Structure 1
Amino acid sequence: MSFRKNISLLYLIKISKWFTLVMPVIVLFYESNSLGLKDVFILKSVYSMAAVILEIPSGYLADVWGRRKCLILGCILYFGGYLSYSFTDTFTAFLFAEILLGVGQTLVNGADSALLYDTTVEHNKEPLYLRYEGRITMIGNFAEAFAGILGGLLAVYSLRLPFFFQTAIAFIGIPAAIALKEAKQRNVIKSPLREIVKIIRYSLFTNKQLCYNIMYSGIIGAATLTMAWFVQPLLIHLKTPTSLYGIIWTVLNLTVGIAALYSDKVDRFFGVRKMGIIILFFIAGGYIALAFNLSYVGLFVLFIFYIFRGFATPILKGYINQMTLSEMRATVLSIRNFVIRLMFAAIAPFIGWMNDVYSLQIALLTSAAIIFLPGLLFLVLQFRANPPFQSPSE
């Protein structure tokens, strides 16, 4: 198996999923097809439900059926979702498209990181995993950033044009996934449900250190996802010109990508324990700093927050990978993703209610408390675990 070939193909798959031309104009597209805001939320809820329900089973499928096969199927379904969007104009058709997109994205989640880690192990490059995970994260955020600008330009000519181009980009992932090489033959399991339950029990109950890392990573992941939805309310609060929305959005995503590129160096410099403390301090602290700087200074706070968002994702996923067996790695990563989605689903409605009833500042401060307290708990539990986890870089 060619190490560089697999890495390059995983880069292409990441681009095919993250080069989202439609995001800046998708609400306008829905409105042009006579959908109201209620319809929009229903569509996105269906996407989230499909992703949450299948998150852990899809990771398990990648472990026993194969990472490559899951990536191929996920890319095909993802392509089908945008193909449906491109040539339909009804709510029912869009609902079908969202299911395809949700299932497709979920099949890719976990399987890509697991295959990347297995590839580094098979080629005796395990210490380089974090570097490549950081690069893949960087590529995804760079793709998302530049796609926003291009998508807006395409929408000037037609709101459907970004979907045509998006379909073509999504197709790139299919041949890339087919060309991948599986790092290791998977075992055939006779009782899938029993095995899933066994892995969940092991990850969240038996292996305490792994459990604490999954929960901590889930809290931080939900925190960074929640902050992404605070960006636009802040811009509205500041009465920012609409023409600057895309530029600010692009700069923030580029910031995440650049930070992710240097995540392995930062992790080596600080080590596991200090890195955990720093991430929690800047993620929870970012909410507090923003709450008391609801001015253009707040944009600088967001910039700092997004730097640490770029560090956190590959570093925390790397820790989980390093303490997980290959035969269950994709399932464990899917458990992490499931925790993030579940936490976000639980937090978001309450935080939105706090913003509507009280103020943006109160919503931000409430978010900081919700993040910091459980985050600190699981961080302390990690430190007290015996034996303590040590990164290969330490």
Structure 2
Amino acid sequence: MTRSISGNISKLYLIKIAKWFMLTMPIIVLFYQENGLSMQDVLTLKGIYSVAVVALEIPSGYIADVWGRKKSLILGSILGCLGFVVYSFSSGFSGFLIAELILGIGSSFISGSDSAMLYDSLLKMGKEKEYLKQESRVMSVGNFAEALAGIAGGSLALISLRTPFIFQSFIAFIAIPASILLVDPNQNSIKLKVGFNHILSIVKFSLWDNAKLRWNIVLSSVIGCATLTLAWFIQPYLRDLDMEVSTIGVIWTLLNLTVGITALSAHKVEGFFGKKGTSIFIVIGVSAGFILTGWFNSLIGVGVLFFFYFVRGIATPVLKNYINQITESEMRATVLSVRNFIIRICFAIIGPFLGWYTDHFNLSSALMLAGGIFFVLGGISVFFMIKVEK
């Protein structure tokens, strides 16, 4: 059984690759603009995607705890493939909206379930202390995949901006057999009692009863929202610098390589600075990344983007590990889904607002405004996290 469970690690790598080998990401905003969408339309579309994720984020995490993480990952993988099939044959806001809703629902069944599957697989093997290292490696593999996809996607875009979406459907399909071959480490355990009231009790426990868990979730969510927000500004930012699509693809590749390489050493950085120092560094680094990128609307700003992605490589696995360390296995996927829920809620509010601000003012000031917002939210989160942990 242990040997079978150990095979989950490589299969989770495949699921991460299928999810992150995004041929469409280097050109997706350009694709939207080619089809007549403004920046407000783009971020509204992504805001709706976030709402779709939010609608099922916590219930899907709870379903994963009750129904099984494997089944949840299979369903999410199938919907992830279907969403890109719909994208391949759609044009205009309404068609993209249908695709985004399918992808959003699919994503909600994967998010939380993958990390919970990883942690519990290691727990079953008696190697739970290796979670941060393994989570960093899984994240690194995903970012290396996204980096290579940047080059491939940029090349396919030379045929047409729609071509990457067609090929993406085949990439997404890889996750389906990988998820089917997983072994659920908790398949013989007693399942939680299914019920909406029990979902609410877990949410209440995570965000109200347990102050330590609450502020760890909030900090991780704020930083997660920040990294998600900046990702949608990179393409228009580089286009404002008169860069070609192929050049944008190369920079996208290098940014994700930066995250991948940094993530491999995230556990060492956290071990050196400790929880308090690492958390403060992450908040300052992310906020400064926004502000300086907006201030230097030039190649210097591109250099700042690399610093931001360096911080991102440390932040994601470290902050997720902090949550896992203080969460019980039987509610792990639900709690991680609470984190993702808050990320999507924040982005659904902040994203369209910053898109509107960009259309009516300019991109640089929108980035600096975003930096200020995330500095305040992140600073409050770190302050209370340190306070309750004393």
- How does the TM-score come out when normalised to structure 1? 0.90
Does the alignment pair 1:339 with 2:332?
no
Alpha-carbon distance change, 276 to 49 in structure 1, aligned in 2, over 3 angstroms? same
227, 230, 233: which is aligned to 1:230? 233
218, 221, 226: which is aligned to 2:221? 218
What is the match of residue 284 of structure 1?
Answer: 287
Alpha-carbon distance change, 174 to 236 in structure 1, aligned in 2, over 3 angstroms? closer
What is the match of residue 348 of structure 1?
Answer: 351
1:47, 1:355 → 2: CA distance?
20
Alpha-carbon distance change, 43 to 366 in structure 1, aligned in 2, over 3 angstroms? closer
CA contact (8 A) 1:22 1:166 kept: yes
Write the deviation string for residues 234-264 of structure 1: whole angstroms up to 9, x where unpaired: 3244333444211111111111111111111
Gaps of 5+ in 1: 389-394
204, 207, 211: which is aligned to 2:207? 204
Alpha-carbon distance change, 230 to 94 in structure 1, aligned in 2, over 3 angstroms? closer
CA contact (8 A) 1:13 1:173 kept: yes
- What code does the residue aligned with 1:63 have? D
Question: How many pairs are equivalent?
Answer: 385
SS at match of 2:267: helix
1:376, 1:227 → 2: CA distance?
18
CA contact (8 A) 2:61 2:109 kept: yes
Does the alignment pair 1:245 with 2:258?
no
What is the match of residue 302 of structure 2?
Answer: 299
What is the match of residue 136 of structure 2?
Answer: 134
CA contact (8 A) 2:27 2:235 kept: no
Write the deviation string for residues 60-80 of structure 1: whole angstroms up to 9, x where unpaired: 111111111101111112122
Does the alignment pair 1:166 with 2:155?
no
What is the match of residue 21 of structure 2?
Answer: 19
- What code does the residue aligned with 2:287 have? A
Alpha-carbon distance change, 167 to 301 in structure 1, aligned in 2, over 3 angstroms? same
- What code does the residue aligned with 1:219 have? V
What is the match of residue 392 of structure 1?
Answer: none
Write the deviation string for residues 26-54 of structure 1: whole angstroms up to 9, x where unpaired: 4666688xx53278667545433221211
What is the match of residue 382 of structure 1?
Answer: 385
1:218 CA drift (Å): 0.9
2:305, 2:379 → 1: CA distance?
22
CA contact (8 A) 2:153 2:249 kept: no
1:86, 1:352 → 2: CA distance?
25
324, 327, 331: which is aligned to 1:324? 327
CA contact (8 A) 1:56 1:335 kept: yes
SS at match of 2:337: helix
* Percent identity (aligned): 51
1:30, 1:363 → 2: CA distance?
20
Gaps of 5+ in 2: none
CA contact (8 A) 1:64 1:187 kept: no
Does the alignment pair 1:261 with 2:261?
no
100, 114, 117: which is aligned to 2:116? 114
1:17 CA drift (Å): 1.0
Structure of higher RCO (CA pairs closer than 8 Å, 6+ residues apart): 2
